[in-house]
Chain A
Amino acid sequence: MNNPVINLPPVYSLIGRHEVFPEVSHDETARYNFLANLNRHLSTVVSPANKIAFEKRVEPNFKQENGRDFQTRDEVKEAMKSDPHYQTWAALRRSTMEMRQQAGRSMTLRQADYLAKKVAELNAKSPETLILSATVKTPYYLEIMDNHCMPGSYHTELFAGDVSNAANYDSGLFVTSGGALGKLTDGGGKAISSWVLSNAPDFKPKRILDIGCGLGHNTLPLAMAFPDAEVIGIDTGTPMLRYGHARAVALGIKNVKFMQLNAEDTGFETESFDWIQTTMFLHETSMKAMFKIGKEIFRMLKPNGLSLHIEQPQYSDKMSLFEQFIRDWDAFNNNEPFWGAMHDVDMFDWIVESGFKKENLLSFGARSINDNEDHTKPKAPEVEDHGRSAIWNVFGAWKK
C-alpha cells in the first residue's frame, strides 16, 4: 500500500468536549472532517499556486502593460482578480467558509433550546462570576457586518438566552484551524501563558484582564497557569459571555469572571490590573477604537504591569506585495475589514501612543501549543498558510 507522508488534520472526534459543547452526530462529525480536509487541500495544494500564477503571468503581464512593477498591494489585488487560477481558489475558499458556517449552524440550531437550558443551569451555579449589562451596545465595527461570515456574528440571540452562535463558533475553530489550536482551541492562550511563565519568572500577576475574550478559549489557560490570580474576561457579545462562562464552570475553572464591557471605556479603576492581554482581537476593531483601547489599557495597568497582544505578523516594506495581498484576502472575503488597516500600523507606534515608553517595548514570535499533534508520526514539510497559520507575532510592553 502506498502511503506517502501527508500532514492530515486530526479527526473531529478528537475535539475536547465539555458539558455545554453541542451534541455532534455521526454525520455532523463527518461533515466537519470533510471541511477540515478540504481546507487542508486548498491551503497546501491549491493556494500555493496563486504565487506561481502571479510570478508566471500576472506580474509579467502587468509589467508589459504598465512598463513598471507593482507599487501597491491594491494593484496586485486588482491584477489577480482576472487570473483564472486565483478565481477558482478564491471561489472555493469562500465556499468552504460558508459551508463551515452552514455545518456549524445546522448542528447548533437544531439543539438551540437544549444548549440554552444547559448554559442557564451551569451559569446558575456561579452567578457572581457572570456580569452581563444590557447597556453595553454592540460596537459599530461589529454591527456593520458579520465577522468571519458568521451569520449573526458574536452578538445575535435568536431568542432570549440563545447561545447557538457561541456554540457554533466553539465547534468550528477546530475545523478551520485543522486542529492547530488544540483540543479546546486554547493554543494561543497556552502559548502566551507559557511564555510569561518562562520569560518573566518573577512576575506574579494578581489580577489579569483578557480583552475581547469571546467564549474564553484563550482566557482559561491564563487562569489555569496563574491559579492564584483573579482573571477577568471582557467582551460585548452576550451569547459569547453566557456560553463562555458556562464553559468555564463546566471545565471547573474557578478564578475567572466574565463581564460585558466595551474595551474602549471599561469603567475599571485606574492601575487595577497586573497583566492585560488581547489575543487575535485588535484586528476586529477599528482604527479609532484601537487607539482608544490602547490608552485604556495603559490607564488600567498597574506600574510594572505587562500588556501583550497576539496577532498575525504586521505588513511592512520587507513583506512582498504578493504576500501582503494574500494575507489581506480574508479582510475582504472573510469579513474582517479592519485586518488590512490594522496590519499596516506599526504596533510599536500604537503602544507608544498608548503611553508606554519605547525602551519597555517587547516583541516575540509564538506558536500554538497544540495537544492534537501526534509526534510519533512522520511529518511532511509544512506549507505556510499566510495569515491563517497558528504562528503569531506577539508585541507588548512593561509599564515602567
Chain B
Amino acid sequence: MINDIHLSSSKAKGKRPYFLEDRAVEQVLNITMAVASEVAVLHERLDTIERLLGSKNILQTAEIEAFTPNSEQAEERQRWHASYIARVLRIVQQELEALQQDPENNRSMEEIAEELGRI
C-alpha cells in the first residue's frame, strides 16, 4: 500500500527556487496559501450545505457530494473566489497602488508630521 498522504506532498526532482530574501518568510507564505486554500474549500462546502438546506429540510452527505452548481450559482461562487483572493492578497495590491501613485499621495507620516508641525 502506498502512503498517499505523504506522497501527495512529494518534492519534484530539481532544486526549488526561493524568491524572497528570507526563506522562512517564503515558507510562511506557502503555509498561509495552503490555509487560504482550505478556507476556500470550507466555504464551498458550507455554501453547498446552505443551498441544500434552503431547498430541502433533510441533509445527507451523498447530497453534498452530488451537488454541482448551476451556471448562476457557479458565477456567484467564482465571484466569491475573486473577492476572497483580492482580500487575502490586499497587501500586494496596496504595494502595487503605491507603485502607481503620485509620490505626493504616498508620503511618510514622519515627513507629513514634520511639515504639519512647521506650517
Instruction: Identify the A interface with B (CB < 8 A).
Output: 3, 6, 8-11, 13-14, 25-27, 29-31, 33-35, 37-38, 40-41, 45-46, 49, 52-53, 56-57, 81, 84-92, 94-96, 98-99, 101-103, 105-106, 109-110, 112, 144-146, 149-153, 158-159, 332-333, 335, 374
Contact = CB atoms under 8 A, between A and B. Distances in A.
B2 A158 contact: yes
B19 A152 contact: no
B74 A11 contact: yes
A61 to B, nearest CB: 14
24 contacts: A8-B75, A8-B79, A8-B82, A10-B74, A11-B74, A11-B78, A13-B68, A26-B64, A27-B41, A30-B41, A30-B45, A31-B40, A34-B40, A34-B81, A38-B85, A49-B96, A57-B99, A81-B19, A85-B92, A105-B9, A151-B11, A153-B12, A158-B7, A335-B14
Contacts of B89: 41, 45-46, 92
A151 to B, nearest CB: 4
A33 B29 contact: no
Contacts of B4: 105-106, 109-110, 112
Nearest to A145: B14
Contacts of A333: 17
Interface residues of B, number: 53
Interface of B: 2, 4-5, 7-14, 16-21, 26, 29-30, 33-34, 36-37, 40-41, 43-45, 48, 64-65, 67-69, 71, 74-75, 77-79, 81-82, 84-86, 89, 92-93, 95-96, 99-100
Given A31-B41, A57-B99, A95-B30, 11 more contacts: A8-B82, A27-B41, A30-B44, A53-B99, A88-B20, A89-B92, A92-B33, A94-B17, A102-B9, A149-B12, A151-B12
